[in-house]
Structure 1
Amino acid sequence: MSRHTISPDEYLELGRNYYKQKNYEKAIEAFTHGIEASETPLITLLDYRAASYIKNENSNAALKDARDMIRMHKKDIRGYLRTASLLEKTEKFDTALNIYAYGKKNVPTTDKNYKLLQQLHDKLTRKISPPTSVDPFTILPPELIDMVLDYLGFRNMVRCLPVSKGWKTYICGRPSLWTNLDLSLARKDVSRAFVRDAVKRSRGAITHATFHRFYHTDMLKRIPPACKQLGHLEFLSGRSMSDTFIEMAKGAPNLKKLVVHVEVTLDTITQVLRHRPTLEHVEFLNLGHSTVPANWTGPFPDLKSISLHPGDQATRFALLNLPAFLAKAPSLRTLSLTNWAGPIDRRFDPSTATLTHLNLTNLGLESIPPLPPTLTHLTLTPRRRICFSNTRPYTLNAQSWLNITLASLPNLTHLSLSRIILDGIDFFSLFLDMYEPEDDDNNGMAPQLTSIPDTAPLQHLSLREIEYPEPYTLFGPTGYLSQSKRILTPSLESLKITNTPITDNDIDDLLLSAPYPNLHTVDLSVTHITGASVKTLVDNLPALRDIVLNDCPNIVDREAVDYALGRGIGVMRVSRVGAGSGRKLALGSRSVRHG
């Protein structure tokens, strides 16, 4: 290098001048002297010499310089762009694609031209790939196309109609794709023409229909006679539709399920059931104000499930006339009553029915009614707290205690209790393990209780706003829950103890009571536990999938939450940030502020 009298940078500048003058021979000579004068040639020298070789139509020499750029400056994007470009010009597309891929691996993503490298790679990939503009509807078998469209859902299937004439012809010509008329995701009012066309496309074979933002009641009444197989109806919105529901019930001979979120009266419900005795499952979730007691003419031989939830202007419970209803629904298995005003009718005796699911939520329960022995799921949430005591001289509370102790619930696996005050430590034992035999004649004396044979252990337990006197606890050898053999067992799958002053000591006692190989969900919202309990649960519950920690004031940082997340466990945490400041929702590792 001693023969060179000027620096590589000066040779670079000299070569640039020759290049601008289109004197490529002189430019190549200058860039070559600059490369020879360098221990590691500047990539700019190599790049300019390659460009000069290209102008001089010496592609092989240019490609050699381009490859040297990559070899000597692996992280610089210019070598990959120059090399791949030359390879593409000689139609060596596969090799060029490999160069782009190699560049994506070595060039930092922070490089301002990295996006260009990605785009060129993708463009070449599309160029050398087989043609992809083949309409899948022309090559896939109809059965597979139907599966894809069914997976998309009704709304997305409808959005496929304008794609092409072929798509529209296929979709409109397949009646099986229109048997589930689902308008639940409608974002604007649905036209009369759309529903008319949907019925025609189904060829009268609609079996499921969900209506939302569709207000043409005259057309609704014509759908059941046109679709004799209609078995499932749901209404998410509507206006003054009582007459419509009755007419549709009359015209739907195979209707099995009816779910109504639109306001209706008790009289409408009784008429719907009278005109459509084939119904098996009904939910009326917005009962309007009524002044006339329900007239259940019946019978309702097929009815298996009914849910009755008043709206804002709650109908009084006494107007339900449930004793008459239960007498006419021999097949009823599920009864759900929520938010009814006024005290419960004392004649209400669900023990006469063969119910498996009973949900009494936010009702004016003054005492717990007699319970059927067939129950598998029980939810009791009185509007006001009830004290269960065999020592306090309160007539109504004594009746609740009597009904609890007399109950025989051998099949109960799901129990949810809220807003109760526990007095006697043996409450859960009497409730779940003991009963009074039907033929027991106690002659007015206290009932003679015996153990319930062949009981099922609880799989799901939920306790909310449960009060009990000190020094008693829920867990531990002398705790309330430990008095029954059916609660703290290996069969337990979900446990929700919320709005209750349990602490870390209670969690330790819980885990000492039994192994829980199946416990996958734990909800400890509004309790006094700390992050130590969270870690303890994570370490000792092998099946744990989800833990809920809403409003736990003693969990002051994210360490325990992050520990659970790191073990693959979902964490829901809602914390009040302060008065007037909204709430902060942390779900998994994300946080969202709700104002």
Structure 2
Amino acid sequence: MARQASTLHQRGQKLYQKCDFKAAIEAFSEALNQKNGDTIGVLDNRAATYSKLEQLDQARRDAKQMIKLGKNNDERGYLRCAKVLLLEGKADKALEIYAYGLKMLPADHPRRSFLQQLHDKLYDKMFVNRRDPFTALPLEVAFEILKCFSFKQVVAILRVSKTWERFFTSMPNLWMNMDLSGARGKVPWTALRAYIRRSKARITHATIKNLATASISKSLEILSRCPQLEYLELGVTYDYREFYKKFQGCKRLKTLIVSADMLVTQEYFGKFINAFPHLERIALLNVKHSPRHVHDGKWPSSLPNLKSITLAGKTQQPPGQDHEYPIYIPSLSEDLEPHTYPNLEELRLNWNPPNLDPYFFTQLSRGGALPPLRRLSLTGVSIGESFYADLPTTIEYLYLEGGMYSNFGTDDTGKTLPNLHTLMLVDLKWLTSHTLNAFLVQAQAPVQTLHVTDCVHLTGQEFLHVMKNAAPDVKLTELSIFHMFNVDDTVARYLHTHLPDLKILNLSFTNITGCSIRMFADARASDSREGARLERLRVQGCEEVSSDAVAYGRERGLEIITR
């Protein structure tokens, strides 16, 4: 049997020399089926043959089998495996195989020195001519580079080497912005403590998410002792009263964002405002009514630092109590000077109760005016007749979604909105051609982004009528008429012809056909500058659009989204 195995082995070697690699593989494989042969030698030759055929996965499998058979006394498996890995472009893995072989072979092994030479040669090639960038570069330059990494990446880089760990730990400024939102798993409080220690408790920004439940209380206790904390975003479930007790001493806090995981009452909304005098932005995404109102005399008379308020409420009014809503904001509009919110730029109110319980934006009906807002977002909020008239002329972004039917009134005094560049109107039962005309024509607003979505009382033809009245003052670059009735190729052709600046268009759930896609695609490929040259077109739910038309558009560089 040994003689037969040897004969087959020799036959395979001769076939290899003749470059008949497939026949050589068959001979080596047959030799392995015989007993008492040089198994490691045959595997070595077969691995070399597989490498010639570029079947490197098979070659690597034979090499690993060689290592298994001769782990402590035969260097050939380590040599062959490393060679295959180098062919695969995995020099780092090859170096690990050499190091593993040196560890497993005895010191007096006759071929150990050869293995050591190959290891050292590869190591020199990989590392000797390289320098650690964080030690070669000036400290200021290295720090600027590190600031480009996310917090998650910085934590990962710590594990590269002990040298890098010491270097990173020696830079407290690198740890002043702690963001746990990218953590793969639940973060223990000990990790958070380590991050804070690296900042020498000088952390200024903290995004607290993905904490292990048992670690939440301890983590917040440690974080509350950081005197320079300015930005805090919480995405954990915790008692709002305990949170207030821990953090009321953080007087430097400028931004507080509390996710819907933590319920906060009206009363504590007021307490947060009072506790943090330098607050510029507050966002509470799950506010509920409480018997003690936020406007019980303890609300500050002036909040000059506050620039952004976001409140979201979904809990209904408890039975038997006065009609009050958790997203109520005291003194939002008033005649008195100075205004309570002289520098408020952004206001977002989101009302989403489990059952129908309408919230009316009535604070403008008291004869006052809103602060100099730049961004206003109302979701599920009904507005009154004076809404348009009372909008501040500083408004740049307006988002209105849902809310019960309102008698929307327009300003007969010729009021304009000269700064309004983004207008988003979603699921508004009161939106008609008359009210849209007020925003686009009467307001003389330089709108660039317009979304009119799911507004059932506005048809495609009525929309075109408004657009014709607004032309040429309106220079849209982004338009969405998602789910608008009677929008077809005729409407699309008008948009293409009369909105030459248009770059993004959403015609989802309309009656357009592939003709519209071809029209927009051909415009991109044409040298003519007439008509819109779209970059992105969304046609989700357009049943008359064929896959061929979509492929045609994409071939001409038009990004088409179908789902």
TM-score relative to the length of structure 1: 0.64
- Counterpart of 1:563 (choices 552, 558, 562) is 552
Counterpart in 2 of 1:333? 345
Asked if 1 retains the 8 angstrom alpha-carbon contact of 2:270 and 2:299, the reply is yes
Partner letter of residue 374 of structure 2? Answer: T
1:182-224 CA-partner distances (Å, limit 9, x unpaired):
1112344433322222222112321111111344435524534
CA distance in 2, matches of 1:172, 1:287: 40
| Inter-partner Cα distance in structure 2 for 1:538 and 1:362 | 38
Is 129-138 or 205-214 further displaced after alignment?
129-138
Residue 294 of structure 1 contacts residue 320 of structure 1 at CA under 8 Å; is this kept in 2?
Answer: no
> Which residue matches 2:210?
213
Q: CA deviation at 1:271?
A: 0.6
Instruction: Tell me the SS of whatever aligns to 1:200.
Output: helix
Residue 356 of structure 1 pairs with residue 374 of structure 2? yes
Distance change >3 Å, CA 471–CA 549, structure 1 → 2: closer
CA distance in 2 between partners of 1:247 and 1:343 (Å): 33
Which stretch shifts more, 463-472 or 544-553?
463-472
Equivalents in 1 of 2:191, 2:236: separation in Å?
17
Asked if 1:512 corresponds to 2:524, the answer is no
Letter in 2 for 1:481: M
Cα-to-partner distance string for 1:399-449 (whole Å, 9 max, x where unaligned): x12458865312211111123457875544433443xxxxxxxxxxxxxxx
The question of whether the paired residues in 1 share the 8 Å contact of 2:397 and 2:420 is answered with yes
Question: For residue 427 of structure 2, what is the amino acid of its counterpart?
Answer: R
Q: Decide whether aligned partners of structure 1 residues 500 and 470 sit closer, same or farther in structure 2, where only a CA change above 3 A counts.
A: closer
Q: Does 2:469 correspond to 1:483?
A: yes
Return the letter of the residue paired with 2:455. I
Provide the rounded CA distance (Å) in 2 between the counterparts of 1:162 and 1:18. Answer: 50
1:157 positional shift? 2.0
CA contact (8 A) 1:217 1:241 kept: no
- Do the aligned residues in 2 keep the contact of 1:179 with 1:202 (CA within 8 Å)? yes
Which range moves more in the overlay, 265-274 or 185-194?
185-194
What is the DSSP-based 3-state SS (H/G/I as helix, E as strand, rest coil) of the residue aligned with 2:196? Answer: helix
In structure 1, the partner of 2:299 is 297
Match of 1:241 in 2: 240
Assess, with a 3 A threshold, how the Cα gap between structure 1 residues 266 and 402 changes in structure 2: closer, same or farther.
same
Query: Are positions 1:260 and 2:258 aligned together?
Result: yes
Deviation at residue 173 of structure 1 after TM alignment: 1.4
Query: Paired residue for 2:402?
Result: 382
Secondary structure of the 1:538 match is: helix
Q: Do the aligned partners of residues 561 and 221 (structure 1) sit closer, same or farther apart at CA in structure 2, a change above 3 Å counting? A: same
Paired position in structure 2 for 1:156: 153
> Is 2:230 the partner of 1:231?
yes
For 2:54 and 2:401, locate their aligned partners in 1 and report how far apart those are by CA, in whole Å: 70
Aligned to 1:499: 483
* Secondary structure class of the residue paired with 2:359: coil
Taking the aligned partners of 1:323 and 1:569, their CA distance within structure 2 comes to 49
Task: Give CA-to-partner distance per residue, 1:2-28, whole Å, 9 cap, x none.
Answer: xxxxxxxxxxxxxx9999599x9xx99
Give CA deviations for 1:362-419 in whole Å, capped at 9, x if unaligned.
22446562322221111122334x4xxxxxxxxx52xx12458865312211111123
Q: Which residue of 1 aligns with 2:420?
A: 412
* Aligned ranges 1:393-472 → 2 under 5 Å: 397=407, 400-402=408-410, 407-420=415-428, 425-434=433-442, 455-468=444-457, 472=461
Matched position secondary structure for 2:557: coil
Distance 1:381 1:469, change over 3 A: closer
Say if 2:439 and 2:445, in contact at 8 Å, map to a contact too: no
Q: 1:213 to 1:311 in 2, by over 3 A?
A: farther
**Residue 521 (structure 1) shift:** 1.6
**Which is greater in Rg?**
1
Query: Aligned equivalents of 2:468 and 2:145: distance in 1?
Result: 52
Mapped contact 1:181–1:206 kept (Cα < 8 A): yes
| Alignment CA distance shift 1:552-1:167 (3 Å) | same
Question: Do 2:207 and 2:234's aligned partners in 1 also have CA atoms closer than 8 Å?
Answer: yes
Q: 2:313 touches 2:351 (CA, 8 Å); kept in 1?
A: yes
Amino acid at match of 1:166: T
Other-structure match for 1:322: 329
Give 3-state SS (helix, strand or coil) of 1:287's partner.
Answer: strand
Paired letter, 1:297? W
Letter in 1 for 2:305: D
CA contact (8 A) 2:264 2:288 kept: yes
In structure 2, give the amino acid aligned to 1:243.
Answer: E
1:183 and 2:201 aligned: no
**In the alignment, which residue of structure 2 is the partner of 1:309?**
312
Q: 2:517 aligns with which of 519, 522, 534?
A: 534
Q: How far did 1:307 drift?
A: 0.8
The verdict on how the C-alpha distance between 1:405 and 1:551 changes in structure 2, with shifts beyond 3 A counting, is farther
Distance apart, 1:511 and its partner CA:
2.0
Contact 1:323 1:348 in 2 (8 A): no
Could you tell me how far apart the structure 2 residues matched to 1:216 and 1:79 are? Answer: 57
**Partner residue in 2 for 1:85:** none
Q: Give 1:507's aligned amino acid.
A: A
1:242, distance to aligned residue in structure 2 (A) = 3.3
Corresponding residue SS for 2:451: strand
| Equivalent pair of 1:381/1:418 in contact (CA under 8 Å) | yes
Give the secondary-structure state (helix, strand or coil) at the position aligned to 1:498.
Answer: coil
Deviation at 1:160, TM superposition (A): 3.2
Say whether residues 1:373 and 2:393 are aligned partners. yes
CA distance in structure 2 between the aligned counterparts of 1:487 and 1:314, rounded to whole angstroms: 45
Report the RMSD for the aligned CA atoms in angstroms: 4.0
Measure, in 2, the Cα distance between the counterparts of 1:407 and 1:21: 97
Residues 427, 480 of structure 1: 8 Å contact kept? no
Map of 1:73 onto structure 2: none
Unaligned runs of 5+ residues in structure 2 are 1-5, 25-49, 56-82, 95-120, 335-339, 525-531
How many angstroms does 1:548 deviate by?
1.9
Equivalent residue, structure 1, for 2:46: none
2:332, 2:371 within 8 Å by CA — same for their partners in 1? no
Report if aligned partners of 2:287, 2:326 keep a CA contact under 8 Å in 1: no
Give the 3 Å change call, closer, same or farther, for CA 166–371 of structure 1 in structure 2: same
Q: CA shift at 1:332, angstroms? A: 0.7
Instruction: Indicate conservation of the 8 Å contact 2:445/2:474, yes or no.
Output: no
Counterpart of 1:344, as a letter, is F
For 1:216 and 1:468, locate their aligned partners in 2 and report how far apart those are by CA, in whole Å.
Answer: 49
Amino acid at match of 1:195: L
Structure 1 residues without counterparts, runs of 5 or longer: 1-15, 32-41, 49-75, 82-115, 387-395, 435-451, 575-595
Distance 1:166 1:433, change over 3 A: same
1:126-172 per-position Cα deviation (integer Å, ceiling 9, x unaligned) = 96783327572554544454445443421232233343322221121
> Secondary structure of 1:258's partner?
strand
TM-score, length-normalised on structure 2? 0.68
Contact 2:364/2:370, CA 8 A, preserved across alignment: no
